[in-house]
């Protein structure tokens, strides 16, 4: 066989073809990663909303058991060492939520026993979330777009961005 025939029979990709394929893959990745990050942030925000709703539900249960609202997340959380439930540790929420940090958000409960407010703020604004959330004993969820914590004066959840 001649050398020309052996060259034509050679199989595989040229360097140019491989570089084109790599360039196409990189273009696809640069378009997909921001979308993936947005989906992840939305998922964390949805989980934060559900956690605030859980705290709200457990505040209602705590109030019916102990005659007042819990003043902190620790009061809603499990007792250290798995002891008996009490007003200091009712065992109504999981340890991770009672610690105040869950799923990229910081959670806090404040109150005086007659009233309470629960807040969820992103640990890293723009990465963990782009919104913070607030709910009190009136049970209306408020949201705030921006790094500041949501308050009662913010708009209701789902009412669009200001």
Per-residue model confidence (pLDDT) at position 31: 86
How would residue 161 be classed by pLDDT, with cut points 50, 70 and 90? Answer: low
The model's pLDDT over 10-66, given as tens digits with 9 standing for 90+, comes to 678 888 999 999 999 999 988 888 888 899 999 999 999 999 999 999 999 999 999
How is residue 157 written in tokens? 């959840």
Per-residue model confidence (pLDDT) at position 139: 93
Please return the burial class of 79, using the count of CB atoms within 10 Å of its CB with bins 0-12, 13-18 and 19+.
middle
Per-residue model confidence (pLDDT) at position 5: 56
Q: Is 67 helix (H, G, I), strand (E, B) or coil?
A: coil
Mean pLDDT (whole number) for 72-91: 88
162 compared with 113, residue with greater pLDDT? 113
Task: Give the bridge partners for 133, in sequence order.
Answer: 120, 143
Whole-number Å distance between alpha carbons of 148 and 129? 12
Q: Is 15 helix (H, G, I), strand (E, B) or coil?
A: helix
Per-residue model confidence (pLDDT) at position 83: 75
Q: Is 119 helix (H, G, I), strand (E, B) or coil?
A: strand
CA 128-71-116 angle, to 5 degrees, is: 75
Per-residue model confidence (pLDDT) at position 13: 81
The model's pLDDT over 123-158, given as tens digits with 9 standing for 90+, comes to 999 999 999 999 999 999 999 999 899 999 999 997
Whole-number Å distance between alpha carbons of 62 and 146? 32
Residue carrying structure tokens 């604004």: 125
Per-residue model confidence (pLDDT) at position 6: 56
């Amino acid at each position: 066989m001649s050398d020309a025939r052996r060259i034509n029979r050679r199989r595989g990709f040229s360097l140019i073809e491989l570089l084109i394929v790599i360039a196409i893959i990189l273009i696809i990745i640069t378009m997909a990663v921001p979308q993936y990050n947005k989906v992840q942030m939305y998922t964390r925000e949805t989980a934060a909303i559900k956690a605030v709703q859980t705290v709200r539900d457990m505040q209602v249960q705590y109030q019916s058991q102990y005659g007042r609202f819990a003043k902190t997340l620790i009061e809603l959380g499990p007792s250290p060492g798995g002891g008996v439930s009490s007003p200091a540790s009712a065992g109504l929420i999981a340890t991770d939520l009672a610690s105040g940090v869950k799923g990229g958000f910081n959670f806090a409960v404040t109150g005086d026993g007659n009233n309470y407010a629960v807040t969820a703020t992103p640990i890293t604004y723009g990465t963990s979330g782009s919104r913070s959330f607030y709910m009190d004993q009136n049970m209306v969820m408020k949201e705030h777009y921006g790094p500041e914590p949501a308050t009662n004066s913010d708009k209701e959840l789902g009412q669009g961005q200001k």
